[in-house]
Structure 1
């Protein structure tokens, strides 16, 4: 495609058109010499809906390891041979301390993440008790990621003030059985639906680089459009020694940027978040990712370290982007 057609494609998307499979595939096959032009088109869409604002997110790993699932990418799974720290659900005070740090870093969304197939009732009670106090003290947007939910658990989280629930589809329906066999693709979609039914904003994303095809990547982007996920975290596989996907290293920074552009073109109005693996896979091109995405994680992830949050803040300043500090504004006006 020519330079002018990327611009035309972006304009069509802004006016409500959907990409054809051929157009979607052309984004992932974009010649490297056209990469900046492709990103310019993605930025047109991003800027139309979000301007130069960037949302910051921070994870607190509230429960580590002890997971019976066999997800091939995860160091916390039952089949992983990785020496990962394991501990049960942290107490309320630890969750509150994490919220205090998130508030200090001007983080808009504080993510409470727990390993395992799904939460026990006691674990949901711990989270909801903390969330009620977090909302009162800091006014932070809270996202919970606790595994597969029962409908009544989703209702309890909503009542406590949880704004968003994350449960990633991770990969395409066709590729899912290559990644895990202890639960189905539909199990994951069902949890997202439970959150939506409870009135919680759905967050669902993917992990790129797990031996999927480019057609799989397109299916992921379209599936999330169909699910109507409000927030789409895009992880890039950082293969950890001791996991079934150990040694897989098929990504390069330019392809990662093309994936981010694809998700913006297919899900133009949604929060596209650069998530795990960005430091390893985007490397020196990390700042360019924000011309397609409008959200990043700051700090560490679950079992891998991120970069210093001050570096992320510097990137935003250097790009001329601004932190979407909506919660702080709400608190000042409230």
Structure 2
């Protein structure tokens, strides 16, 4: 009988030696039974610590333009199909967009991102976001933008303003995307990522879990992210919001969330894996275990339309676990 504790640690060491785990082996990892979850996570934790040490990347976002989105994403409170009380306001001024980032410059947060609603921000509004992000001290805080489906010139404007990363989630596997969104295509999202890469921006791209995806589709998404060579993988867990199409979905448990994080660490061993929306709602009392499951980053503060955790609470969590915030905004090539 195979000692599972040794099996997963040996598997992690194989990846550290340069082996790229194939699709068959990875699919088997997704079938790991719950009783083997702790040794499964031990291998993922070994990988996290080998690549990132005892440090955790912290990022924060700001909702720069909210509501009245033309797209029909099933999980989103700002979707055209949603009937929610999500805030509605146009793109904020340069000063309003820059202010949250300026406040973060004296904190341990590594990266600040401005996020906007809609299919894609118009060029003139992209220039405003770029101007706001250019006011952030790049030595003290890295910057990111999440402006939807935009093109080459807009990406280059962000790059010229000192922005170093573009965030654009695939949300789910290509084979499941039509069940999540019908107003734009998966190919449009892929093209957006390609334009960001061509402009010299690093890529922050992941998804949201709990949308009814199968294990095969989790694998499909992971392999797509690997092929794209994304730099950071935000992991969101669905918080069903009343009034959204996905309000009735209940597919996640704390243990399944931990398994997804650990699986992604085996599939993408040296990528930044950042746990974002839905972590408290779905992980509940197991929330502190995300790092032992392989997460190397955390989104702190509020999300777009739902409350998150205060930075001081997340810093206390790291201290209790013997972890520290990642020093500096340029800590390694993946940042």
Normalized against structure 1, the TM-score is what? Answer: 0.95
Counterpart of 2:166 in structure 1 is 165
State the alpha-carbon separation in 2 of the partners of residues 207 and 302 from structure 1: 14
Counterpart of 2:150 in structure 1 is 149
Counterpart of 1:20 in structure 2 is 22
Unaligned runs of 5+ in 2: none
Match of 1:41 among 37, 40, 43: 43
Taking structure 1 as reference, are residues 23 and 328 closer, same or farther at Cα in structure 2, changes over 3 Å only? closer
State the alpha-carbon separation in 2 of the partners of residues 71 and 110 from structure 1: 24
State the alpha-carbon separation in 2 of the partners of residues 329 and 204 from structure 1: 19
Which stretch of structure 1 is more off in the superposition, 51-60 or 19-28? 19-28
What SS does the aligned partner of 1:35 have?
Answer: helix
Counterpart of 2:224 in structure 1 is 223
State the alpha-carbon separation in 2 of the partners of residues 309 and 130 from structure 1: 22
Is 2:140–2:328's contact at 8 Å kept on the other side of the alignment?
no
What SS does the aligned partner of 2:57 have?
Answer: strand
Q: CA deviation at 1:329?
A: 8.8
Aligned counterparts, 1:68-87, within 5 A: 68-87=70-89
State the alpha-carbon separation in 2 of the partners of residues 57 and 157 from structure 1: 18
State the alpha-carbon separation in 2 of the partners of residues 246 and 32 from structure 1: 26
Counterpart of 1:240 in structure 2 is 241
Over residues 41-82 of structure 1, what are the superposed CA-to-partner deviations in whole Å (9 max), with x where a residue is unaligned?
001111111001101000100010121001111110111111
Is 1:135–1:161's contact at 8 Å kept on the other side of the alignment?
no
Taking structure 1 as reference, are residues 24 and 317 closer, same or farther at Cα in structure 2, changes over 3 Å only? same
Q: CA deviation at 1:22?
A: 3.6
State the alpha-carbon separation in 2 of the partners of residues 26 and 318 from structure 1: 33
Q: CA deviation at 1:27?
A: 2.4
Q: CA deviation at 1:308?
A: 2.1
Over residues 292-334 of structure 1, what are the superposed CA-to-partner deviations in whole Å (9 max), with x where a residue is unaligned?
010001110011101222211111001101100213999xxxx
Over residues 88-108 of structure 1, what are the superposed CA-to-partner deviations in whole Å (9 max), with x where a residue is unaligned?
111111122101232243210
Over residues 121-177 of structure 1, what are the superposed CA-to-partner deviations in whole Å (9 max), with x where a residue is unaligned?
2211111111211136x6310010000011111011101111100000000010001
State the alpha-carbon separation in 2 of the partners of residues 329 and 23 from structure 1: 32
State the alpha-carbon separation in 1 of the partners of residues 178 and 331 from structure 2: 45
State the alpha-carbon separation in 1 of the partners of residues 26 and 256 from structure 2: 14
Is 2:117–2:148's contact at 8 Å kept on the other side of the alignment?
yes
What SS does the aligned partner of 1:174 have?
Answer: helix
Counterpart of 1:202 in structure 2 is 203
What SS does the aligned partner of 1:282 have?
Answer: helix
Over residues 237-285 of structure 1, what are the superposed CA-to-partner deviations in whole Å (9 max), with x where a residue is unaligned?
1111111111211100111111001111111111000010001011111
Taking structure 1 as reference, are residues 270 and 328 closer, same or farther at Cα in structure 2, changes over 3 Å only? closer
Counterpart of 2:118 in structure 1 is 116
Number of residue-to-residue matches in the alignment: 329
Counterpart of 2:300 in structure 1 is 298
